[in-house]
Chains A and B, each alone.
Chain A
Amino acid sequence: MATPITAGAVAGEYMETLVIVEWRVGIGDAVAEGDVLLTIETAKAAVDIEAPSAGVVSAIFAEVDSEVPAAAVLCLIGNDIADVDYDGGEAPVTGSSSSSTPATAVMAAERAAEAPRAAVSSARIVASPAARRAASAAGIDLRVVRASSPSGRIKLRDIAGASQSAPAFAGSAPVSAGLPVDENGPLKVHRSGATGGAPVFLIHGFASDSLSWYPLDRQLAKSHPVYRVDLPNHGASPKRQVSGFADLVREVRDAFDALDLDGAHVIGHSLGGALALALADTRPRKVASLTLLAPGGLGPKVNGDFISGIARASRPESLAAWLKVMVRDQTLVDLPFVKAAFAARASAALRAAQSHMGETLFADGTQSFDLVAALHRLDCPTRIIWGRKDRVLDWRDALQAPGHVGLHLLPDVGHVPHLEAPDLSLGIISALIKSI
Chain B
Amino acid sequence: MTVMRYAEALNAALREEMQRDPSVFLFGEDIGRYGGVFKVSKGLRDEFGDARVRDTPISEQALTAMAVTAAMSGTRPVLEIMYADFLPLSLDALINQASVFTYLWEGQVDIPFVLRTQGGGGVGTGAQHAKSLDAMVCHIPGIKVVAPATPADAKGLLKSAIRDRQPVVFLEHKLLYNTRGEVPDGDEVLVPIGKAKTVVEGKHVSIFASSKMVIEAENAAKLLAKDGIEAEVIDLRTLRPLDLDAIRGSIAKTNHAVVVNEGWTFCGYASELSATIMEHCFDDLDAPVARVAMPDMAIPYSEPLEMAVLPNAVKIAAAAKKALA
| Chain A interface residues toward B at CB < 8 A | 128-133, 149-151, 153, 155-156
Contact = CB atoms under 8 A, between A and B. Distances in A.
B286 interface: yes
A156 B325 contact: no
B255 A156 contact: yes
Contacts of A131: 286
Nearest to A148: B325
Contacts of B282: 129
Contacts of B325: 149-151
Interface of B: 255, 282-287, 325
A131 B286 CA distance: 6
Contacts of B255: 128, 130, 156
21 contacts: A128-B285, A128-B287, A129-B282, A129-B283, A129-B284, A129-B285, A130-B255, A130-B283, A130-B284, A130-B285, A130-B286, A131-B286, A133-B283, A149-B325, A150-B325, A151-B325, A153-B287, A155-B286, A155-B287, A156-B255, A156-B286
Mostly, the B contact residues are loop
A156 B284 CA distance: 10
B279 to A, nearest CB: 12
Nearest to B252: A130
A150 B284 CA distance: 20
A372 B161 CA distance: 91
Contacts of A149: 325
A362 to B, nearest CB: 40
Contacts of B283: 129-130, 132-133
A151 to B, nearest CB: 7
A129 B325 CA distance: 16
B278 to A, nearest CB: 9
Top-8 shortest CB links A-B: A130-B286, A128-B286, A156-B286, A129-B283, A133-B283, A130-B255, A129-B285, A129-B282
Contacts of A151: 287, 325
A156 B286 CA distance: 6
B220 to A, nearest CB: 21
Nearest to A136: B283
A78 B207 CA distance: 48
A12 to B, nearest CB: 23
In the complex, which of the residues B282, B283, B285, B286 has the most CB atoms of chain A within 10 Å of its own CB atom? B286
A150 B323 CA distance: 11
Contacts of A129: 282-286
Contacts of A156: 255, 286
A168 to B, nearest CB: 24
A389 to B, nearest CB: 48
A130 B284 CA distance: 5
